[in-house]
A = this chain, B = another copy of it.
């Protein structure tokens, strides 16, 4: 039994939402256990709220304060759970400047201002931890930053947004349309009334930027991330995928290629045999391909007050332990500076689905278009209807800009009535 004889470590919580309340509850209920793990007691210095006159369920009103600056000034560890850019950014910078360690779950802030914040932490010799900002409860920061520190990450494929995974999974399992599945997600509280941040991939793009920064030891910002959401995915796309032994997932992809780094978020066709295909409902998972370790996957809940609080508290214990022992965790090393390339230079496989007239010579005309742009066809599947036929062409690996040019030409061809979908194929 370690003996926490040391000075208490003062913890400030900024933000009284579900995660904040859960962090306060765990800090209180597990105080003895946490003191043993840290080597010093953790003491709740206060909870910042905008308006102290509003009663907060589960929070002692004596702990509430609307003076965030004063709270930060008397804290050893600041837990930022407010979300948004301002005043979260200013308060974190003030905390670091004052020598406090910071734990944050704020993905938008890290994706937008990560370099500034990590530099401030380095300059202050303080820790800035952010496990909860990447994939909720799933431990991914320590595995990538520390366990794989002697390895090289080649690619990350992540399901990092629970709302979109729920919607796509319902479309897959029950054949629902996008609109019905989204409505159901909203009714169940998995999606917001305005679902844009989730369904258009903004949330996933912020996480992709953070994951890429971690994996490749360099700064990758939100502006570097190509982004497509799932609002264009139809029940017909899902059905066509199933016929081909695939499911559609919204993936955050960060990969190394030829000395460059590419980061993108888009719906993708994944073979049903791939571990990511088995990630159902609102669960998240991050699939990592490393040079020596091979394939790894980390699976769990990507959101929710209680699971997120687990990740936050793990970080609080780490940074508090460093303070109790007079040390500091590994710095957020960003020593690499590979160029981050745009989507048009990405190489991957594609599935192009189109309606064509059901008459001889059409396939030849279509194949000529692919060949003209140097895009090699791997498989062709055809399903005839009344006078028209559905044609699904899967390509070998091709350059995104060649594929885009192919699709543009297909759209101009009389032998093609409609290009109904273009999806990238990943995980093969």
Contacts and interface: CB of A to CB of B under 8 A. Distances in A.
B278 A307 contact: no
Nearest to A304: B294
Interface string A129-157: 00100000111011100111111100000
B330 A327 contact: no
B300 A300 contact: no
B150 A314 contact: yes
Contacts of A275: 278, 299
Given A37-B333, A278-B278, A333-B37, A146 B314 contact: yes
B328 A325 contact: yes
A328 B306 CA distance: 31
A301 B327 CA distance: 33
Contact of A314 (B149, B313, B327): B149
A147 B2 CA distance: 20
Contacts of A300: 293-297
B299 A296 contact: yes
A311 interface: yes
A212 interface: no
A139 B131 contact: no
Contacts of A152: 30, 33
A318 to B, nearest CB: 6
Given A150-B26, A313-B150, A328-B325, A294 B301 contact: yes
Interface of A: 1-2, 22, 26, 30, 33-34, 36-37, 131, 137-139, 141-143, 146-152, 217, 275, 278, 283, 290-301, 304, 306-307, 309-314, 316-318, 321, 325-328, 330-331, 333, 335
